Amino acid sequence: MSTCAIQLKMPANQATLGRLEAVLARLETVATKLGIEGTPKKGSAHSAADIQALVERLEAAADKIEQSTPGAEGSGKTVEFYDEFLRGKISTFFKLSDESGGDVKTQVDLVKKIFQTQREFLVKASSTKMPSKDRIAAMIQPTAQLRQEVEAFRDRNRKSQYFNHLSAVTEGTEALLWVGAPGKPDIFVRDRKDGAVFYTNRVLKEFKDKDPKHAEWAHTFIAALIELQNYCKEFHPIGVSWASE
């Protein structure tokens, strides 16, 4: 007889409480691993509906916590702190680019895809032993292809009034090729950031007396690249950190 059938023969409250106890056990186990205090305690509810709602909330919470435990996809520190990086200056940069609209927004929409693709690469790297050079090249190809699209967009829009913006982004996003570049990743990112500064300085000069939002956009982009540089320096000091390292 299936578990479902057995539960249907049990009083509603009893069956639901059984689920609740199982969820609580999951939470307590995971919380212990993560060092989280204040795990849910058993209590009473006024009705089966109350208990059902609580179970659903606890199950959702348990799923999220379990995904954050060591061994879950993307749970390694390299991915965890990359996500923190994505919530930093680069997130503000994306927002400012959306507000700018036009060619800037269109190009930066491609940049967003690069960062997401790079995250997917880092998730794989965090759970994969270092593969062959050919396999690594295949893994980073999506990032490289999107980067080429960013550059191609700039080249197609040389008459754009925001050409310096497009050039700054083109130069700066080359930093994302650190995953396949020789040498130390943070140095690679730093050098590409310096290339972007040449064009953000032009943006600052051109829009100094026109629109301060462009200055904020330029400064934020460079700050985001510095954050990427710091991330690489800490978590990928001599190259991509694979699961076996």
What's the confidence (pLDDT) of residue 209? 80
* Residue from 36, 53, 34, 35 nearest 45 by CA: 53
What's the confidence (pLDDT) of residue 95? 97
By CB atoms closer than 10 A (0-12, 13-18, 19+), residue 66 is: middle
Domain ranges across the chain: 3-67, 77-235
Tens-place pLDDT, residues 184-211? 999 999 999 999 999 999 999 999 888 8
Q: DSSP for 93-123? A: HHHHHHHH-HHHHHHHHHHHHHHHHHHHHHH
What's the confidence (pLDDT) of residue 76? 78
CATH of region 77-235, choose from 1.25.40.330, 3.90.600.10, 3.30.70.260, 3.30.930.10: 1.25.40.330
What's the confidence (pLDDT) of residue 7? 42
Tens-place pLDDT, residues 138-188? 999 999 999 999 999 999 999 999 999 999 999 999 999 999 999 999 999
- Distance (Å, whole) CA 109 – CA 156: 16
For residue 46, pLDDT over 60 is answered with no
What is the percent of the chain with per-residue pLDDT over 70, rounded to a whole number? Answer: 69
What's the confidence (pLDDT) of residue 39? 44
Give pTM, 2 decimals: 0.69
